[in-house]
Structure 1
Amino acid sequence: MVEANQLSSEDRSQILVTLIEKCRTRSIEPDITSIDDPEIAQRAEADLDTLKLELSDLPPFEERFAIVRELYLSLPW
C-alpha cells in the first residue's frame, strides 16, 4: 500500500494521529525513535503468522519492515 500510493503531508499527519491514538489505547507513548526498539520488530514479526492465514504469499519480513520504518520516520513528529 505504501509503495503504490503517493502520500501527501495531510496523509502523513493523519497516519501519525491514528498511530498515536492506537498506541495510547495500549498504554504506549510512541516517539520518532520507537520504531527502532527491537521489541517492536519482534512483535510485528510474531504477528506475521496471522497474515499468513489470510495471504498465501508474503514478502520477506525484513524487506517490508524496512519500508514501514521509512514511512514511520517520515511522519511529521
Structure 2
Amino acid sequence: GNADCLVFPFLEVANVFYKSLTYFAHADMATAIVGTKVPTTLSSRSDTVRNKLYSLAFACLRADKELQNNIEIEDI
C-alpha cells in the first residue's frame, strides 16, 4: 500500500529523498524533525506553497497532541 510516513536515520538522507520526490514525482509532502523539544519543520526555497502548508499543519497537529498528552499526565 501507500506509505503514510517515512523515517530516515539521517537528515541528509531524508533531504535527498524529499527533494527527489518533490522534483521528479511532483509529490506533495510534509516534513518534520522528531526528537526536538518543539515541533520543527524544514522548508526549502523550492518548496511549493502546498508543501509548506502541509509541514506547518503537521507541526501544529503534533504540538496539539503533545500538549494534550502533557495535560493528561499532569492531571493524574
Instruction: State the TM-score, normalizing by the size of structure 1.
Output: 0.28
Bigger Cα Rg: 2
TM-score by length of 2: 0.28
